Structure 1
Amino acid sequence: MEKKSNQTLFVILAFFSIYVIWGSTYLLNKIAVAEIPPFFLAGIRFITAGLLIFGIAKLSGKSISITKHQLRNTIIAGFLFLSFGNGIVVWALKFVDSNFAALQISAQPLVILLMMWALQGKKIQPMSIFGIILGMLGIYLLVSQKNILAQENSLVGMLMIFAAMLSWGYGSLYIGKADMPKNYFVNTGYQMFTGGIMLGLFSLVFGEEWSFVNDWSTKTQWSMLLLVIFGSIVAFTSFNYLLKMVSPEKVATNTYVNPIVAMILGWYFLNEQITAQSVVAAIILLTGVYFINTKKRLTILNRFKK
């Protein structure tokens, strides 16, 4: 009973982490990408986080040794989640507002559900079909706004975010069944470190200009520090933990809260505009996500009550 109680507490804390902390990373990335090239930014963030995780693991007496098969899987996951899934979103933030990016990504459960149907033959329930219809309507209302389409390269940013959502969705399905390091902390470290190295290679290929920490502004230095400690180490470890504890589409419900956090922070700190159409789109889209996940949520809650 005590073990189940602790498990439930860890699940709740992990969800809080991916709900609230990840919601704030849109603001932090938007601040940093205004000064630092996107792949360089993401690469430094994840390499630093990975090295810190390995250091903490060694100091706490945890083994960081893994099998060749596990290493291969962490490299694949690192690419899908971080090198492509996160790196492309950071790049897209050069073209779209942070709150818009968060709203678009709130359709992630819809993408995962459709991928589970297409790749795993998952049967889609009637309530989920209704959720998909609402989700598509919400996305249309979101991306069809004239003030957004008028922004230079906004369409490029939207397409980049959608590609990142596909990568993140496939990664969620892959990691749920793959042989990964048993320790979630170590698992995160390998994904961060290998994903960061790949992002560094992307940065070199694209000819990005590299710089030292002392060349950055104070707000960029603080943004990077928060991204490394909370956005990477804390939140991503929580994410890996949840993928093994609950279903992938349940984990994707962080998109309920992330847009709200991102919209409030973007409006308050960056003066990003929140239009009436964006609010309506968000309500419709998140309602659709709710219907997609309602049955799963009840199943999980009942499981923890047993």
Structure 2
Amino acid sequence: MPASRRFPLVLIGAFLALYLVWGSTYLVIRIGIESWPPLLMAGVRFLIAGSLLYGFLRWRGVPAPSWAQWKAAGAIGILLLSCGNGGVTLAEHAGVASGVAALAVATVPLFTLVFGRFFGHRNTRLEWAGIGLGLAGIGLLNLGSNLQASPLGAALILFAAASWAFGSVWSKSLPLPAGPMASAAEMLVGGAALLLGSALSGERMTQMPTAAGWGALLYLVFFGSILAFSAYMYLLKHVRPAAATSYAYVNPAVAVLLGILFAGEQIGVEECVAMAVIIGAVVLIGVPQWRKVPASVATPADALRGELSK
């Protein structure tokens, strides 16, 4: 297969991994924290995934990151994994439904545009309109019974979304290791930070995890971390940040459906309206990111659109 066609197929696979796998991880996290302390589970998840990926890459001859690359990867790992994923895990432990957590995280593209201003990106009027609509959606979401019942969970989930967005934008200008080694280094540092947070907060295992708890951890390690997170870091290097965070269009619907079917979660009218508003805002700000650009400045994302239109 020609390299020009293999590249779009890799992009398609990476997007599918984010859309479907990450949409399911919200429910799996909820299952996991029934057996594991939240920060401990998240830390073990990323430390195992990072160690496996790092060991495999070194065995394949990939050079170890330099000190500058370790520092850059560590900063992004703490923002995306320790603060981002750790915040989501803590929010679900505080009582936020998995579907509502996914919906709140759908605000990542909105935060991405806001933080992009710090790095010289200029937003269009359409993007600012999307940000305003998204803020209205966040307000509606907080009127729902789910987040009102857990103010701490609401604060944690928005902090997680903001941390993830800032790390995603900042990563574009840092000297990260090439390819999957960036994911491995970030997971190692982010996982270690989560385990430190677990120890400092006094988390303790009171009993052995159930079979479902072990299964959730393994799913999060191999699918949610090694597969999906590596796909996300790949996309951050090859498409615009708002395109890489477009999984926010699909994850809430996947998470809400799985939460209703398998966990008996209930989503109120306010949350349903908020879902429509937030996803509408994310689609609105995605329009400028996916518009046509001249061939001389085309990105891999533009190449993907051209390939799909054939």
Query: What's the TM-score, normalizing by structure 2?
Result: 0.91
In the alignment, the residues of structure 2 paired with residue 263 and residue 241 of structure 1 have an alpha-carbon distance, to the nearest angstrom, of 27
Match of 1:288 in 2: 281
Aligned length: 298
C-alpha distance 238-150 of structure 1, shift in aligned 2 (>3 A): closer
Match of 2:146 in 1: 148
Q: What is the DSSP-based 3-state SS (H/G/I as helix, E as strand, rest coil) of the residue aligned with 2:222? A: helix
Q: Given residue 111 of structure 2, which amino acid in structure 1 is its aligned partner?
A: V
Q: What is the DSSP-based 3-state SS (H/G/I as helix, E as strand, rest coil) of the residue aligned with 2:72? A: helix
2:243 paired with 1:250: yes
Q: What is the DSSP-based 3-state SS (H/G/I as helix, E as strand, rest coil) of the residue aligned with 1:85? A: helix
In the alignment, the residues of structure 2 paired with residue 114 and residue 149 of structure 1 have an alpha-carbon distance, to the nearest angstrom, of 24
Stretch moving more, 93-102 or 131-140: 131-140
What's the offset of the Cα at 1:50? 0.9
Match of 2:165 in 1: 169
C-alpha distance 263-137 of structure 1, shift in aligned 2 (>3 A): same
Out of 254, 262, 265, which is 2:258 matched to?
265
In the alignment, the residues of structure 1 paired with residue 147 and residue 216 of structure 2 have an alpha-carbon distance, to the nearest angstrom, of 28
What's the offset of the Cα at 1:170? 1.2
Match of 2:295 in 1: none
2:157 paired with 1:158: no
C-alpha distance 279-149 of structure 1, shift in aligned 2 (>3 A): closer
Out of 232, 248, 269, which is 1:239 matched to?
232
In the alignment, the residues of structure 1 paired with residue 99 and residue 302 of structure 2 have an alpha-carbon distance, to the nearest angstrom, of 34
- Confirm or deny: 8 A CA contact 1:54 1:64 kept in the other structure: no
2:57 paired with 1:57: yes
C-alpha distance 44-64 of structure 1, shift in aligned 2 (>3 A): farther
Q: Given residue 244 of structure 1, which amino acid in structure 2 is its aligned partner?
A: K
Give aligned-pair identity as a percent: 33
Hey, which bits of structure 1, 4+ residues long, moved more than 3 A?
A: 299-304
- Root-mean-square deviation over aligned CA pairs: 1.7
For 1:186-197, list aligned pairs within 5 A: 186-197=181-192
For 1:209-228, list aligned pairs within 5 A: 209-210=204-205, 215-228=208-221
2:201 paired with 1:206: yes
- Can you give the 5+ residue segments of structure 1 that lack an aligned partner in the other structure? none
Query: What's the TM-score, normalizing by structure 1?
Result: 0.92
In the alignment, the residues of structure 1 paired with residue 206 and residue 73 of structure 2 have an alpha-carbon distance, to the nearest angstrom, of 28
Q: What is the DSSP-based 3-state SS (H/G/I as helix, E as strand, rest coil) of the residue aligned with 1:177? A: coil
Q: What is the DSSP-based 3-state SS (H/G/I as helix, E as strand, rest coil) of the residue aligned with 1:280? A: helix
Match of 2:69 in 1: 70
Q: Given residue 207 of structure 1, which amino acid in structure 2 is its aligned partner?
A: G
What's the offset of the Cα at 1:231? 0.1
Q: Given residue 155 of structure 1, which amino acid in structure 2 is its aligned partner?
A: P
Stretch moving more, 295-304 or 103-112: 295-304
Match of 2:138 in 1: 139
